[in-house]
Amino acid sequence: MDKDDQPPNADFQLPQNLRFLQRLVTLLTVSMIAGIIIIVALLAVKLRTESINFPQTVILPDGTKPIAFTQTKDWYSIITDADEVLIFKNDGTLINSILIQEAE
């Protein structure tokens, strides 16, 4: 085989530092793909967990207007427009009523 029959850069090799950089870029690409797969899997597992049941009806004391709602697995609370926090069991029983006052 003549020298003219070979491709022009057949014996060319990348310098050592460029080969190292190429390996780093490949490693970064693989790790980012793995990270995205892990994040998607964690989100899928987290979103499939049992959700908390929202109460169908909430009975509030007369004259109160709810402005916020918070719920846990054991209780829920309603913040009223009169700066009062009403804490209920999940069965609707009032546990506690807290009046919010500004700090002095």
Sign of CA dihedral 8, 13, 15, 17: positive
Question: pTM for the whole thing?
Answer: 0.51
pLDDT in tens, 3-44: 666 666 767 788 999 999 999 999 999 999 999 999 999 999
Write the CB contacts of 58 (distance below 8 Å, at least 6 apart in sequence). Answer: 66, 78, 88, 92
3 state DSSP class of 26: helix
pLDDT category of residue 91 using cuts at 50, 70 and 90: confident
Beta strands per DSSP E along the chain: 66-71, 75-80, 84-89, 94-99
